[in-house]
Structure 1
Amino acid sequence: MSKKISITSIAKHLGISTTTVSFVLNGKAQEKRISDKLVKKVMDYVEEIDYKPNSLARSLRTGKSNIIALIVEDISFPFFSAIAKEIEENAYKNGYRIIYSSTENDAVKTRELIEIYQDKHVDGYIIVPPEGVEEKINALCASGKPVVVLDRHLHNVETDHVLVNNYESVYSATQYLIKQGYKNIAFITLNSLQSQMLDRLAGYEQAIQDSKLTPIIKEIAHEDSVKRHKHLLSFFKRKRNSIDAVIFSTNYICVSGLKSIKQLGLRIPKDIAVVSFDDYELFEMYAPAITSIAQPIESISENAINLLLSRLNKKATEIDKDVQKIVLKTTFIERDSSTR
């Protein structure tokens, strides 16, 4: 039955214009000053008959699907899932729906996902990009689709992005440990060319150099938690007597590291102090609680969706061509894992 129902037949049944029904179903009732009573009348009838509009046909007709693609590294990671939740809530309030996908830092998969979303006529993109997708994102921008890049930036890609001050955050955290009296501070990070990881590493290296200490760097590959734990366990076995503190470049690496430290019977912070980039709700409940560099999840999400919406809500002739580059500050949360 729902396949045979059209906006025209709904309008005829209710005794109102097709245009009014269209405005209500497309979320423009308030903009067009349609009364709440009439909106309720339309929506009650639509629910009663289980009307399901053809979204593709509507997007072709209006030029908008009211769908935003959110493409992240891994939606299961606490940082990205928290970001996704905030973005979805803000998008929904503004009449948009979110489609999520994880890239697993795979450039081929990312390009394929973008092509799928292009076929679905999504209105805009918020992307946490791996390396190797520069050409695809530039093509999206050239086609007129707004793109906001999160968490990292890509060279030779000029589009809006939202980042945090990665370099300064890790530099300050390393200096904090040095002032606490730690001298053999390791930095464990991904073997990655991603800009945020390079900036975090550079912040650590500069702080160590400024204090005339010796850097201790462990880079691990993108891999599952079992392999990650195995590699970190081996590292801490070899270095257990030669390091007194460690900074992890992400919270999921820190979780694997904490398992390894516990398995080896090392005491935090007596045997080894711990700091993690990215806070995690379980860090506060860990014994001892883990010191962390917290990213401003709410502010990152709000800035990202607001940047995108500002592009989506303007006519092509009104759009500001200047790229918006927003860099937000993190918060250092001192807990028991880093105090002597």
Structure 2
Amino acid sequence: MKKKRVSIKDIADALSISVTSVSFILNGKAEEKHISKELTKKVLDYAAAINYRPNQIAQSLRTGKSKILVFMVEDISNSFFANLARSIEDIAYEKGYKVIFCSNENDDDKSNDLIEVFNFRQVDGFIIVPSAGIKETVRQLIDDNIPVVLLDRYFEDLESNVVVIDNEEASYTATKHLIDNKYKNITFITTDTEQTQMLDRLAGYKRAVNEAGLAPEVVFVPFTQAGTEAGKKLITDFVKNAAKPDAVFFATNYLALLGLEVFKNESPQLIDDLGIVTFDDNDLFRIFSPTITAVAQPMWQIGTELMEVMLQLLKKKDVKEDTQKIVLKAELKVRESSTEKRRLK
């Protein structure tokens, strides 16, 4: 038989005091309500002795707060998002919040379904890596005065709270690093998308090669094919048909892993011959041979900024008041794969 949950009324009856007094004490309002320290201690000691746990559903109905946040990303198994999730979880927990993690797979229908479900469950706020077509859904959340912080990408014409890195500058710096190390035929491999972060990375690459008087060469891989045989074929075709590239810059870590797999299977010498840089670091890149140069995003700083903005929003009466766009700097982790041109053709 399921054990009956102990209620505030049970505590009040056991101690022969009012339910109201017990509620004030358990919700940290004893001093505010001028309840004696002796009675406060008596209630807290008894609650601890019986292992009292508040009914979260009843509490959320009473206060209008669930103390739950949603962190929706593209793919929670991606090391970038997984590491970021951990920092957010730690900070949220310290502040009394729990976090629900979910993946939208960059799919608008799934994004909208998940947001609808969690909004119906009355979560307190959303941190979202948005898929391209959910601008109106995000706008509706904001119009409904629900705290929302966008991460990694945003909508140009939607006033919202955003935490991103300077993708264009980071991509420019990484490309310039290859150019400074004598690479002249640099191919940029990216996803075929209109998302702001990917467009900015492409823009940074193009700015660097144009400044150097070099010709840009871009391979676009549809997002839905990034982990498939079709995606591998696009990179295989590049390996077989490209006009003698001497370096590649992958726009994401999952494209880098895909590309390195293709190089190994199709033409293993390319791993040693090409200069290689990737956006977004991964533990594997530090132990790969050669070690892979990567643009590293400041995980803990991103998580801290996200939660700081969210915690501010949770206190506001109007979430549209004083929206923030926080732009952080990434760091280029220089490793063996991009050292001065290793094999002149």
Do they superpose with TM above 0.5?
A: yes
TM-score normalised by the chain length of structure 1: 0.90
1:92 equivalent in structure 2? 93
Q: Which residue of 1 aligns with 2:239?
A: 236
Shift of 1:27: 7.5
Alignment match, 1:301: 303
Report if the CA contact (8 A) 1:72-1:103 is conserved: yes
Match of 1:328 in 2: 328
Give how far 1:130 is off.
0.8
Larger mean CA deviation between 92-101 and 227-236 belongs to 227-236
Same amino acid, percent of matched pairs = 41
Change (3 A) 1:59 1:269: same
**Separation (CA, whole Å) in 1 of partners of 2:292 and 2:32:** 49
Q: Which runs of 5+ in 2 are unaligned?
A: 341-345
Name the counterpart of 2:277: 275
In structure 1, list runs of 5 or more residues that go unmatched: none
Q: Distance in 2 between matches of 1:4 and 1:326?
A: 45
* Cα gap change, 1:170 to 1:18, in 2 (>3 Å): same
CA distance in 1, matches of 2:237, 2:244: 14
State the shift of 1:18 in Å. 3.6
CA distance in 2, matches of 1:36, 1:216: 71
Q: For the aligned residues, what is the CA RMSD?
A: 2.5
The verdict on how the C-alpha distance between 1:290 and 1:25 changes in structure 2, with shifts beyond 3 A counting, is farther
Kindly indicate whether the alpha-carbon contact (under 8 Å) linking 2:22 and 2:43 is maintained by their aligned counterparts in 1.
Answer: no
Task: Give the alignment's TM-score, normalised by structure 2.
Answer: 0.89
Number of aligned residue pairs: give it: 333
Residue number in structure 1 paired with 2:290 = 288
Could you say if the C-alpha distance between residues 12 and 187 of structure 1 is closer, same or farther in structure 2, counting changes exceeding 3 Å?
same
Compare CA radii of gyration and give the structure with the larger one: 2
| 1:37 to 1:196, Cα distance in 2 relative to 1, 3 A | farther
* Aligned-residue offset at 1:330: 0.2
- Check the 8 A contact 2:226/2:255 in 1, yes or no: no
1:225 to 224, 227, 241: 227
Query: Which residue pairs with 1:64 in the alignment?
Result: 65
How far did 1:42 drift? Answer: 1.6
The one of 35, 44, 50 equivalent to 1:45 is 50
3-state DSSP of counterpart to 2:321: coil
Shift in Å at residue 154 of structure 1?
A: 0.9
**Number of the residue aligned with 1:123:** 124
Give the secondary structure class of the aligned counterpart of 1:171: helix
Q: How far off is 1:145 after superposition?
A: 0.7
Q: Which residue of 2 aligns with 1:169?
A: 170
Alpha-carbon separation, structure 2, partners of 1:25 and 1:100:
29
Task: Encode CA deviations 1:6-48: one digit per residue, 9 max, x unaligned.
Answer: 221133325565456546766879999987886454234135x
Following the alignment from structure 2 to structure 1, what is the Cα–Cα distance between the partners of residues 32 and 100? 26
**Secondary structure, aligned partner of 1:303:** helix
> Cα distance, 1:271 vs. partner?
1.2
Q: Does the C-alpha gap of structure 1 residues 257 and 16 become closer, same or farther in structure 2, counting only changes over 3 Å?
A: farther
